[in-house]
Amino acid sequence: MTGAGRRRYFFPEDVERMERFADVVWLDLDGPDRVFGPPAEDPALTARVAEFAADLDALVVSYGCPRITDAVMAAAPRLRMIGDTHGDRFGFRVDVAAAHRRGIVVCDTTNGSSDPVAEWALALAMIGLRNAGALFRRLIAGELLWPDRTVFLDDPGYLRGELTGKTVGLIALGNIGRRLLELLRPFHVRVLAHDPGAPDVLANAYDIDLTSLDNVLKRSDVVICLVPLTQATAGLIGPEQIARLRPGAVFVNVSRGAVVDTEALVDRLRRGDIIACLDVVEPEPLPTDSPLRTMPNVFLSPHIAGVTDAAEPRFFEYMVDDVERVLAGVRPRYRLVPREPSSA
């Protein structure tokens, strides 16, 4: 990975822990940073990685590393595991299918930031239900909202402000979604969830209802988008889907901005009958003239949901755990398997 990335994410105590069960060697690279698709080919970088991996049992990659191709694996006959600490669990940096054919385990520990994302999703749901963004705008504009509380009587936050007992719709049930289910429990909500890849056993385990995207959108008081951005999910929430949101609904997005059609969302927000709380938008950064910046029924945060000081060491901490498991002959917890193309 990049030298800066190593200093930021690979904490000394976890490196020392790995050194207790393995000989650790490093290769700093200045290749692609974040990738939302396979990195551009760089033969020189790939050759360096292939040479580096030749005698390794496990290879951990992150920012700065080129794609780990079948050719790289062929050059590393001892390789038993490839781990990516920042891959968003998409396998963009690793040819997962090639690894599977060779019997090489692939792991991704991007879920190190899942807990804070789930927490912020819950916070945004509550902010939206209380219409707190609009009230904050009014306060900083100098309006005197207290003690005359009659001004609140037709406010959405007064009419529908409590989360307890509401119907919450989740789009995707990955690590973030399952953590969010735990956080929602004390509010006694009914949960509708859409995730074609979720096993039926989750419905009973979490006491939720698995259903269609259409049902989630039209039957939920709060809709929380958690779906990862892939070719199949880009634009998943388009004009037809946004039109299905029930009047008074709160729409929360903590996944990726490109999952949602921004123009269609803006058009619906102009009607004033829904509230949006968005940690991610498309494009990013949000243009200064975007109407989302000034709409009273919009609350924005600058893509901070998963960015906390406590979360950053977990990416490598979890990877050290899985490397130790694989080398000890134990099944890893964060394994990636080849994915068949599918829609969400």
The answer to whether 237 touches 259, Cβ cutoff 8 Å, is yes
Catalytic residue among 6, 137, 246, 303: 303
149 and 214 share one domain = yes
Catalytic residue among 16, 51, 162, 284: 284
User: In three state form, how does the secondary structure of 279-340 look?
Assistant: CCCCCCCCCCCCHHHCCCCEEECCCCCCCCCCCCCHHHHHHHHHHHHHHCCCCCCCEECCCC
In this model, does residue 144 exceed pLDDT 60?
Answer: yes
Whole-number average pLDDT of the chain:
92
pLDDT confidence band for 42 (50 / 70 / 90): confident
- Mean pLDDT for 55-73 is 94
77 and 94 share one domain = yes
| Residue carrying structure tokens 């396998």 | 91
Residue 87 is predicted with a pLDDT of 86
Residue 330 lies in a domain: yes
**Rounded CA gap, 32 and 132, in Å?**
39
132 and 215 share one domain = yes
Q: Is 256 a catalytic residue?
A: yes
The tens digit of pLDDT for each residue in 291-328 reads 999 999 999 999 999 999 999 999 999 999 999 999 99
Residue 198 lies in a domain: yes
**Rounded CA gap, 30 and 24, in Å?**
20
Catalytic residue among 194, 256, 314, 325: 256
131 and 159 share one domain = yes
Residue 341 lies in a domain: no
92 and 154 share one domain = no
145-149, 215-219, 322-326: the lowest-pLDDT one: 145-149
CATH (domain of 264): 3.40.50.720
pLDDT confidence band for 4 (50 / 70 / 90): low
70 and 149 share one domain = no
85-99, 219-233, 252-266: the lowest-pLDDT one: 85-99
pLDDT confidence band for 344 (50 / 70 / 90): very low
Host domain of residue 160: 114-300
Residue 320 lies in a domain: yes
pLDDT confidence band for 23 (50 / 70 / 90): very high
Residue 244 lies in a domain: yes
- Mean pLDDT for 241-254 is 98
Residue 342 is predicted with a pLDDT of 38
189-203, 206-220, 221-235, 296-310: the lowest-pLDDT one: 221-235
212: DSSP letter:
-
Residue 342 lies in a domain: no
Number of domains in the chain: 2
The tens digit of pLDDT for each residue in 95-128 reads 999 999 999 999 999 999 999 999 999 999 999 9
In this model, does residue 147 exceed pLDDT 60?
Answer: yes
Q: What residues have CB less than 8 Å from 185, skipping those under 6 apart?
A: none
Q: Give which of 241, 161, 160, 240 is closest to 194, Cα–Cα.
A: 241
56-60, 99-103, 226-230, 261-265: the lowest-pLDDT one: 226-230
Q: Is 303 a catalytic residue?
A: yes
- Mean pLDDT for 230-258 is 95
75 and 159 share one domain = no
16 and 126 share one domain = no
240 and 322 share one domain = no
